[in-house]
Chain A
Amino acid sequence: MSRHVDTVSNAAATPEVEQPFAELGVKPDEYARIREILDRRPTNSELAMYSVMWSEHCSYKSSKVHLRQFGDKKPASDAMLVGIGENAGVVDIGDGWAVTFKVESHNHPSFVEPYQGAATGVGGIVRDILSMGARPVAVMDPLRFGPADAPDTARVLPGIIAGVGGYGNCLGLPNIGGEIVFDPTYLGNPLVNALCVGTMKHEDIHLAKASGIGNLVILFGAATGGDGIGGVSVLASETFEDGGPAKRPSVQVGDPFMEKLLIECTLEVLHAGLVEGIQDLGGAGISCATSELASNGTGGMHVYLERVPLRDATLTPEEILMSESQERMCAIVPPENAEKFLDICKKWDVVATVIGEVTDTGRLIIEWHGDVIVDVPPRTVAHDGPVYERPYHRPSWQDALQADAPTADKLKRPATAAELRDTILTMTAAPNLASKRWVTDQYDRYVLGNTVLSQPEDSGMVRVDEETGRGVAVSTDCNGRFAKLDPYNGAKLALAEAYRNVSTTGAVPLAVTNCLNFGSPEDPEVMWQFSEAVRGLADGCLELGTPVTGGNVSFYNQTGDVAILPTPVVGVLGVIDDVERRTAMSWAEDGDLIYVLGETGDDFAGSEWAHEVHQHLGGLPPQIDLMREQALSQILVACSRDGLINAAHDVSEGGIMQSLVEMALRSGRGARIWVPDNLDPFVFAYSESATRAVVVVARSEEQRFTDMCGARNFAATRIGVVDSEAADVPALVLDNAYGEAITLPIAELADKHFGTLPAIFGPTVG
């Protein structure tokens, strides 16, 4: 080969060579530190490895000092089997079952190349779950876009939805939930977060470590290509600038068919007991897998890089080390198991190659055709990356924002029955409140045959054990407007909503994952938002007793000076001992009583109404008392366990009215609703006070239900009755709105609710 390869001895002999570290996203002081660690200049390959592993995306260098709180404030919980720091946390759900779940971002790639960016986001999180030894059983995708009718939303949204669906559907994983939120700040910075849930028996938990001298390092899955080079560094860890290069080559290309084979093959080698340690290849590719495995294990590894199967024979060693080609895994296998391991790979038509072995040298040594091109202490690559104490301060505009409260004299409110009726129709059709069926009907929610609840239910729920009915529920939530108004309480509100959604379906909340999406950490005001949100989430998790099991940070979600709404997406996982007793949102029987749990105040700051009708954002978000939230959760779970309620639905964006509209449309039945005496009808309908739910109670259970709420000193207010004959046609009838009755036929509400997305993005079925 004529190309010059930069060897370790060459690097030692030529300290003066100028290296293009800035192009790889490495800062001058970081470069100096690499030279200090190695006591020479790095080879080009070493520089490539450090550049990706020390990127913001991989090293969490700006967020680490804040994220420590999740460990420091960790609540006492017996449920945690594997904590933060592994590929994904693992939680005990009883009966010998364990569940692992995690959410990750794939924001920048999805903006650059919507279909592949979103598809490989799903693929990456699925491999994280798989590498813990779990069978992936469900996915969900919290998504954020610019305004629904913006031209760039028309460019990115259909591709992202098709990518999420195309990959997940082809993998055979049901998509059971997620979110779709529109806000102008996400224009140019769509958020694609992907969550995966996996299940396993306790004894099947595996970790990413390379132990046992002489054990083999086996790379298996897809061949390595030139896609995704520098994805974590030059793509994920920088802000987009207008007129810059397209960065499209930094987006990976996915092959879900290969991933499906990889899932079955990996689970078979793990269950056969052939594997000592395992790691998926995602961000930073081989650089990450080899350095992390070595750093977590015996401490040394020797790799022969020329053995890596390539899609493109012209790739340089640096490119091979940095490539983020998808559908690859790395296993540490005792030599005596190698033959069986390779046989299983062959059965699944998965290419597997021994690329090295575990050593006790304490060094990660990588050869290329006999030349040593990497010789580093693996810990310095994987774990000892730079840590930044980024400066932060409360934004200069924060006080003015909080003072700009949406009072009745500032934002015009409906004041007659006719005006409120118009408002209800407008809100029912608002992009953020309208049905997301256009999206979720492109996802397979049935495959595997264990989906008990999926969108638009409050949480996604899957059966884990077909014999006992034990299952898990997951919900992700975040109102970024609340987080902008007050990042500390906004994060708590996101946690509270996800926690409530899980409880609403009858599951006991157990653990938390998060995906913290923010602007540039180099902006002190963004960094303040981040630090406040992390503090709020850590405090909230401690109060609720739900530990953070892992998560992901995505910075640089901004174009120029405009950052996205701070968006700390929180995922809560709950357990239910028998999915037969889940609570769904559809009201079933005429005559059942409709109650609202919790108290309704005048809370319109950051509300959907202020956003949709007045494009207003200001004031302080609703107050949140997590002890009250816990009491509500206990009531909802007890109601499910004791059979007291026939339906339940969380109250959040769009207030009580949105909950009622969704419940009515889900069941096709009408109801008669009356506004409590002490409330203005509009405030009753659209206030977004926290810690509330609408529940439907059979008359025969009313006394037990109200007794239970009374015993817990929790407000329960009767607001109506399920009634298909409340009007001539099935309708929601609001009995006493400003002295009149408002009749909203189900058919009219359905036109509004289901019509919005197809009108913007085009018809699907029909």
Chain B
Amino acid sequence: MYQFEYQTPKSAADVVAALKADEDAKVVAGGMTLIPTLKQRLAMPTTLIDLRSVPELKGVREEGGTIVVGAMTTHAEVWADPTVKSKFPALSYLAGKIGDAQVRNRGTIGGSIANADPAADYPAAVLALNATIVTDSREIAADDMFTGLFETALNEGEIITEVRFPIAKRAGYAKFRHPASRYAIVGVMVAETDSGVRVGVTGAGPNAFRVPEMEQALASNFSPDAVANIKVPADDLNSDIHASAEYRAHLVTVMAKRAVEAAMG
């Protein structure tokens, strides 16, 4: 690991100021991705800005018809949160399936979304719920957030402060996980809100995406059968040592079906 300065600012404003002051600085949340990257010398930040002492980034609250999750809330906290459990059980379930117990104790929702690993779980929920990503300077709509492999709409020096999930009428998540890393080879969240049905898919492609054909089918018939014969083309999907693109395409349909089943309870 290269040498770096280490800072623990006490407010989001201080974080942003610190980032502005040093363009080679990096933010660390839980560090579940960043620390391995540093250990492999794949990144060499001059300064590490730890968000752990910023109180406004933590916690879950309900606001109108929305569940607001602070960026530094760990997966374990999302999983165990009573509000999430009662109002958005699919998100609690999703959080409880990330990595393993120790990783869930450190990893955070903000870190996961900002990192935009193609196999991370949260992006499926962000898309399916049409969540709003709130940063220090603006709000980003779910559909604008994930732009490519490890790429998001976030600007340099911009940090996520919270994520707002509209409460769904029903939602379900199904994941075919990589057996070793437990990342999603394919993860699908299906959610029905007042504004319709959305299907968010993670793991399958270079970044999370929606499946409009499934959404339309589910809007008129919210049942597993509605998506059973809808296939996404394998051409644009990931193919690697863990699964071929064809296998992933097949799994998107199966997981969508299972997500609908889960949403129906």
Are A and B a genuine interacting pair, yes or no?
A: no
